[in-house]
Structure 1
């Protein structure tokens, strides 16, 4: 609700982002969803505007082996809202846009998916325009028509 986020950024710099990583909470059901995606033979990827902290997040939360590809803002010329990260994932796996479902929670995510021509699921953001909306990992699994969630 702040107009100027500079005090927040200044505070983050003073305490160091690394100290916050262990305090991050994993979304309930994430591991099960990622396992179901793998069992379905689908690619599990991350497209994030994080840069040097993403590796630490994956290690700290034991998620390093849960993703097939991780693309950060430092891996592309233009981070989200540009489509570069999604295009890099598609290129790595020879996918066309309609073979990719991007799950996000920000206008930057929505714009990246729209620019890349991919499907977009808005997560916990009902006001965000999307192909579908979900508020839990179980709902994402249902939307993806994964067998574990659609019995």
Structure 2
């Protein structure tokens, strides 16, 4: 079986660190700060940062969007990276399943952040496939990330399962027609996921 894992909010507890980085970067570059901005960011978690910024500032030029994204990454790497933790039971889960299954990471994050996180928690060895923002034209909720994982693993859709924390993870899996498990531990989408998906509290409850 191919097990496709999301990164932020699923195998790592990074939601609040990303939110803080976005809010502070936007305030520094544009001077703007509001509950509406914060809520929009939270509601779009799981979608790439460049898409979030374009949604918040649809009429802005590319330079402003680039400046915000650069500042987001600067705050994230310089100040918030050390605050990110590995989700409960993830390492035990990876150790249990990696010998008999293919494990892939499919994330809207950029490759630098993804590889940094895998190295930080010493879990690189478990992942045979890594697909990040740079590898796709169409990010979540489009299923392109999942399609690329399945293609690289050379398995059928029926032999794949996607595990994530956001409604966009669910929508990508649903549109492709593969199994999905929602992890609620750090999710900003608990109520939505509980209505539409099979969910667990953390990785200790996933039996594969």
The TM tier, using the shorter chain, reads 0.7 to 0.9
Q: TM-score, normalised by structure 1?
A: 0.82
- Structure with the largest fraction of helix: 2
1:16-47 deviations in whole A, cap 9, x for unaligned?
A: 211322211111211110111113x1111111
Supply the distance in 2 between the matched residues of 1:110 and 1:7 (Cα, whole angstroms). Answer: 18
Which among 131, 135, 143 is matched to residue 75 of structure 1?
135
1:104 aligns with 2:161: no
1:42 aligns with 2:108: no
SS in 1 for 2:130: strand
**Equivalence for 2:36:** 3
Is the contact between residue 90 and residue 100 of structure 1 (CA under 8 Å) also seen in structure 2?
yes
Is the contact between residue 106 and residue 145 of structure 2 (CA under 8 Å) also seen in structure 1?
yes
Q: TM-score, normalised by structure 2?
A: 0.61
Supply the distance in 2 between the matched residues of 1:76 and 1:88 (Cα, whole angstroms). Answer: 8
What are structure 2's unaligned runs of at least 5 residues?
A: 1-33, 43-52, 54-67, 185-189
Higher relative contact order (CA 8 A, sep 6+): 2
1:54-74 deviations in whole A, cap 9, x for unaligned?
A: 111111111211211111111
Supply the distance in 1 between the matched residues of 2:182 and 2:145 (Cα, whole angstroms). Answer: 17
Distance 1:15 1:91, change over 3 A: closer
SS in 2 for 1:35: helix
Distance 1:7 1:111, change over 3 A: closer
**Equivalence for 1:54:** 114
**Equivalence for 1:149:** none
Residue 13 of structure 1: CA displacement? 2.6
Is the contact between residue 164 and residue 181 of structure 2 (CA under 8 Å) also seen in structure 1?
yes
1:50-108 deviations in whole A, cap 9, x for unaligned?
A: 01311111111112112111111111111111101100010011111121111111111
Is the contact between residue 83 and residue 115 of structure 1 (CA under 8 Å) also seen in structure 2?
yes
Is the contact between residue 45 and residue 70 of structure 1 (CA under 8 Å) also seen in structure 2?
yes
Is the contact between residue 103 and residue 128 of structure 2 (CA under 8 Å) also seen in structure 1?
yes
Supply the distance in 1 between the matched residues of 2:73 and 2:136 (Cα, whole angstroms). Answer: 28
Q: How large is the Cα RMSD of the aligned pairs? A: 2.5
**Equivalence for 2:192:** 127
